[in-house]
């Protein structure tokens, strides 16, 4: 049985951006496009996406106002929103994150992440030793089509693939003995004193 494609709604008032990005992502994701906030909310009446990509500079209602409206509605407040924009000023990033955006990306950055992201490797410290953190990181990145094998994710101390066979991204944990290496390096420094 084929796993359903993750759903992404892209909101931008420039049709070229929507078409270009949709063409690059459509093989991996179910893409919906909206040229305005009105179209976005019409789409949301029928589907709840896994992710919304939102431009900041929109006519009538800008991306910040759209995000406020989404976060104020319990039905939509849990949908991750990434600002998909060329305007990554410090002020915009601060304001967007305060309103509940999860990230800011240029169109090119997003296409690169989605097109070329094929492995996540957890090593050292928390990544290697904490299945809860690994699970939460992978859940946050779920829009990439990551599936986690909960039993494999519990394994510690050995090389293990923790993604499901149908995951679009391979996820693994590789033990590094980082703590042992740090202890040995520290001992070597102390011995020289």
| Range name among 114-118, 168-172, 185-189 with the lowest pLDDT average | 114-118
pLDDT of residue 177: 65
CATH number for domain 6-113, candidates 1.10.10.10, 3.40.50.2300, 3.30.420.40, 3.40.190.10: 3.40.50.2300
- The band of 115, judged by pLDDT with boundaries at 50, 70 and 90, is low
Q: Kindly state the average pLDDT of the residues 16-45.
A: 84
Distance CA 139, CA 112 (A): 20
What is the share, in percent, of the chain residues with pLDDT greater than 70?
84
> DSSP letter at 3?
P
Give the Cα separation of 113 and 105 in Å (integer): 10
Phi, psi of 182 (to 5 degrees): -65, -45
**What are the residue ranges of CATH 3.40.50.2300 in the chain?**
6-113
pTM value > 0.85: no
Is the per-residue pLDDT at 3 higher than 80?
no
State how far the Cα of 168 lies from the Cα of 74, in Å rounded to an integer.
30
Bigger pLDDT: 134 or 74? Answer: 74
User: What CA dihedral angle connects 109, 110, 116 and 120, to 10 degrees?
Assistant: 100
Q: What mean pLDDT comes out for the span 22-38? A: 83
- 120 sits in the region (left: phi over 0; alpha: psi -120 to 50; else beta) called beta
pLDDT 10s digits, 33-80: 999 999 999 999 999 998 898 888 888 889 899 999 999 999 999 999
DSSP per-residue string spanning 47-109: ---SEEEE-S--SSS-HHHHHHHHHHSTTTTTS-EEEE-S---HHHHHHHHHHT--EEE-HHH
The residue among 120, 134, 126, 135 whose CA lies nearest residue 168 is 120
Highest mean pLDDT among 8-22, 52-66, 87-101, 170-184: 52-66
HSE-CB of 132 using CA atoms within 13 angstroms: 0
Does an H or E element contain 112, and which? helix 107-116
CA distances from 193 to 35, 184, 189 (A): 66, 15, 7
């Amino acid at each position: 049985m084929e796993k359903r494609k993750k759903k992404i709604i892209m909101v931008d008032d420039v049709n070229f951006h929507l078409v270009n990005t949709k063409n690059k992502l459509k093989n991996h994701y179910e893409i919906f496009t909206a040229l305005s906030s009105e179209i976005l909310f019409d789409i949301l009446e029928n589907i709840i996406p896994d992710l919304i990509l939102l431009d900041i500079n929109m006519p009538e209602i800008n991306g910040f106002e759209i995000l406020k409206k989404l976060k104020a509605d319990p039905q939509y407040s849990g949908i991750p929103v990434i600002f998909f924009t060329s305007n990554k000023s410090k002020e915009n990033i601060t304001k967007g994150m305060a309103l509940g955006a999860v990230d800011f990306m240029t169109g090119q950055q997003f296409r690169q992440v989605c097109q070329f992201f094929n492995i996540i490797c957890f090593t050292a410290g928390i990544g290697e030793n904490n299945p809860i953190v690994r699970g939460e990181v992978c859940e946050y990145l779920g829009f990439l089509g990551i599936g986690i094998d909960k039993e494999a994710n519990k394994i510690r101390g050995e090389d293990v693939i923790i993604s499901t066979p149908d995951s679009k991204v391979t996820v693994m944990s590789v033990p590094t003995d980082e703590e042992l290496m740090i202890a040995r390096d520290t001992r070597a420094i102390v011995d020289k004193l």
